Amino acid sequence: MESRHDLATSALETLPITVAIIDDDGEILLTNRSWREFGPGEQSDDHVGVDYLATTATGDDEYAREALTGIEAVLAGERKAFSMEYPCHSPDEKRWFLMRVNRFHRGDERLASLVHLEITERKLAEIAAAENARELRDERRALEHVLERVDGLVRNVTDAAVSAGTRAEIERDVCRRLVETDPYVLAWIGRVDVTNRRLSPREWASNENVPLEDDEIVLDADDTHPAVRALSEGGTQIIQNVASFDGAGRLWPTGAGEQFQSVAALPLTYGDVTYGVLVVFAGEPDVFDERELLVLESLSGTVATAMNALETRRMLTSETIVAVEVTIEDPSLFVTNLSNEFNAAIDYRGQTHARDGSPLVFLIVDRELTDDETDAIEHDREIAVLSDTEDSTVLEVSDPDGLITTLSEHGGIIRECTVSDGIADLAIELPDGRSARSVYDLLDQRYDRVELVSYHEREEPAQTPRGMTTRLESSLTDRQLTALRTAYYANYFEWPRDVTGEEVAASMDITRSTFHQHLRTAQRKLLDELFE
């Protein structure tokens, strides 16, 4: 059976750590296999008899000096143990080791064990953890700075938008507040001229007093401009580095471009209405990250909401209306399709509502239709002939989700609609500029060719026919109003009559007596409104 000494020696050989035993003079008495195999190449020298202290003293670095001092202190009895971590990098990899020195005795002889344990994995993990901690500290400091800046920016822009008395004041103050905040150096807000299809910068501000070029952007031609894309696509557009943007010369005046390195364009939208576009420039590239855009998009929403509130207040306190004339050339438009089918001009006469609440539209064809023509009508809308003469025919058409319904939903009133030779001419009245822009954009998206012929605002007198109509409609029941409108649009009041009361009643799906009862009551209320 092996002695305890032999067993310990055999076990020492199997350890995956480098171990050496030295005496109090620093001479190596014993090493294990890991010690002998450590180092580059094949190595069988056990270093027994080598003066380890002298070898360590030859190292010209702080770790060697620290190791020598610690080992000598242990051998001198000043310390029972000593440990230190040190790097031992090779050309191919980085390595770290832990050295431990422990004193022990064999009889009267003072000895020490030297153990070198590789701790590279732990050291790399510690370095990574320290790096992550540093990055987190830097990120936290940056976030605190951003939050402080953002809080001030949001408060300032919100105050400017909410406290302004006019839209121009909102635009001017918002641009000024933006450029007072790093890293923004210029901001402008543009409005769309729907008549000329131009985007015009209305207000701007710059921290270097750089004037924005008094120019207009052609919406149909400058489709690469971020402001145009923001309007057409309805979302934020970014250029993180303008040096790589081909159309950089269209973003600012000649000679000022070196001050601007990145740009963001945001549509000012409230619901389905777009008031314009906000364009913000920064003096550094790659400024508009996800966090920055979240703040700007929130601010653009605040600005659009404030503009909407101003327009709503103006609508409630003024009698201004917007008159718009447009032409539409698109065979898919129902009245255009019907005009082409009959080879005749068609005029819009008016509208009412059926019993189920769906809109009914009255159209006049400029010639008498034959029975064969009316029988051959095939459309997804219900079409009925109310009356006809030698030179005209009155049609009643259901209009589910059609043009008339769409315009009504935006507060529009069709004053005139004439269709001939494949072109529809419309004259529309709308309550405000917001509704006018929304209606034009809707028509432009829905139909092939839409041309804005005229656009102007006018003040109505305090007492207007519109007000009288509103009061009358509020005093009539739905059936009384439908009976009055249907009779009027069907030429029931002409002499001689183009249509009988029985025919009008049939179109309303009521009896003749019920029709006359509704009509008489509506006529009396109409005369009351007129004379009283």
Mean pLDDT score, 15-25: 87
In a domain, 400, yes or no: yes
Q: Are residues 253 and 146 in the same domain?
A: yes
3-state secondary structure of 330: coil
Mean pLDDT score, 5-26: 81
Look up the CATH number of the domain holding residue 204.
Answer: 3.30.450.40
pLDDT bin (cut points 50, 70, 90) of residue 84 is very high
Q: What is the DSSP letter of 325?
A: E
- Please state, in angstroms and as integers, the Cα–Cα distance from residue 445 to each residue in 226, 237, 325, 351, 450, following that order: 20, 21, 17, 25, 9
* Region of poorest pLDDT, from 112-116, 268-272, 280-284, 338-342: 268-272
Q: Are residues 423 and 448 in the same domain?
A: yes
Interval 360-383: pLDDT, tens: 888 889 888 887 777 766 666 778
- Is the bond preceding residue 183 a cis peptide, omega within 30 degrees? yes
Q: Are residues 39 and 156 in the same domain?
A: no
Q: Are residues 209 and 93 in the same domain?
A: no
3-state secondary structure of 147: helix
CB distance 316 to 411 below 8 Å: no
- What confidence score (pLDDT) does residue 149 get? 61
**Residue 416, pLDDT above cutoff 80:** yes
**Residue 238, pLDDT above cutoff 50:** yes
Which residues on adjacent β-strands are paired with residue 364? Answer: 347, 394
In a domain, 132, yes or no: no
Of 65-79, 289-303, 464-478, the range with the highest mean pLDDT is 65-79
Residue carrying structure tokens 């002409």: 494
Q: What is the DSSP letter of 242?
A: G
**Residue 1, pLDDT above cutoff 80:** no
Residue carrying structure tokens 């023509």: 373
DSSP string, 413-443: EEEEEEEETTEEEEEEEESSHHHHHHHHHHH
Rg of the chain over all Cα atoms, to the nearest angstrom? 44
pLDDT bin (cut points 50, 70, 90) of residue 219 is low
Q: Are residues 520 and 424 in the same domain?
A: no
In a domain, 123, yes or no: no
Q: Are residues 430 and 301 in the same domain?
A: no
- What confidence score (pLDDT) does residue 253 get? 47
In a domain, 135, yes or no: no
In a domain, 133, yes or no: no
Q: Are residues 361 and 446 in the same domain?
A: yes
Look up the CATH number of the domain holding residue 467.
Answer: 1.10.10.10
With pLDDT > 70 as the criterion, what percentage of the chain qualifies? Answer: 81
**Residue 196, pLDDT above cutoff 70:** no
- What does DSSP say about strands 198-206 and 184-193: parallel, antiparallel, or unpaired? antiparallel
Interval 36-60: pLDDT, tens: 887 544 445 678 888 888 888 776 7
**Residue that terminates a domain, selected from 317, 351, 375:** 317
Q: What is the DSSP letter of 272?
A: T
- What confidence score (pLDDT) does residue 146 get? 56
- What confidence score (pLDDT) does residue 37 get? 80
Q: Are residues 330 and 306 in the same domain?
A: no
- Say which residue, 448 or 200, is predicted with more confidence: 448
Q: Are residues 171 and 313 in the same domain?
A: yes
- What confidence score (pLDDT) does residue 101 get? 93
**Residue that terminates a domain, selected from 118, 133, 163:** 118
Number of domains in the chain: 4
Q: Kindly state the greatest CA–CA separation across the chain.
A: 144
Q: Taking Cα atoms as reference points, which of 310, 286, 290 lies closest to residue 298?
A: 290
Q: Are residues 330 and 448 in the same domain?
A: yes
- What confidence score (pLDDT) does residue 171 get? 86
Look up the CATH number of the domain holding residue 70.
Answer: 3.30.450.20
Q: Which domain holds residue 501?
A: 461-532
**Residues 6 or more apart from 526 whose CB is under 8 A from it?**
472, 484
- What confidence score (pLDDT) does residue 59 get? 63
pTM score, two decimals?
0.46
- What does DSSP say about strands 28-31 and 81-87: parallel, antiparallel, or unpaired? unpaired
Residue 135's Cβ-count burial label (10 Å; 0-12, 13-18, 19+) is: exposed
Q: Taking Cα atoms as reference points, which of 155, 146, 143 lies closest to residue 182?
A: 146
**What span, in angstroms and rounded, lies between the C-alpha atoms of 112 and 110?**
7
Q: Are residues 455 and 508 in the same domain?
A: no
In a domain, 130, yes or no: no
3-state secondary structure of 213: coil
- Say which residue, 18 or 404, is predicted with more confidence: 18
**What span, in angstroms and rounded, lies between the C-alpha atoms of 20 and 434?**
89
3-state secondary structure of 184: strand
- What confidence score (pLDDT) does residue 346 get? 92
Interval 243-252: pLDDT, tens: 777 665 555 5
Q: Tell me the average pLDDT of the chain.
A: 79
- Say which residue, 116 or 211, is predicted with more confidence: 116
- What confidence score (pLDDT) does residue 152 get? 64
In a domain, 127, yes or no: no
In a domain, 125, yes or no: no
- Say which residue, 156 or 265, is predicted with more confidence: 265
**Residue 515, pLDDT above cutoff 70:** yes
**Residues 6 or more apart from 419 whose CB is under 8 A from it?**
333, 335, 336, 338, 339, 345, 346, 347, 425
Residue carrying structure tokens 């009396």: 524
pLDDT bin (cut points 50, 70, 90) of residue 443 is confident
Q: Are residues 213 and 270 in the same domain?
A: yes
Q: Taking Cα atoms as reference points, which of 219, 471, 485, 464 lies closest to residue 361?
A: 485
**Residues 6 or more apart from 111 whose CB is under 8 A from it?**
21, 22, 23, 24, 29, 103, 104, 105
* Region of poorest pLDDT, from 68-82, 110-124, 436-450: 436-450
3-state secondary structure of 458: strand
**Residue that terminates a domain, selected from 286, 302, 317:** 317
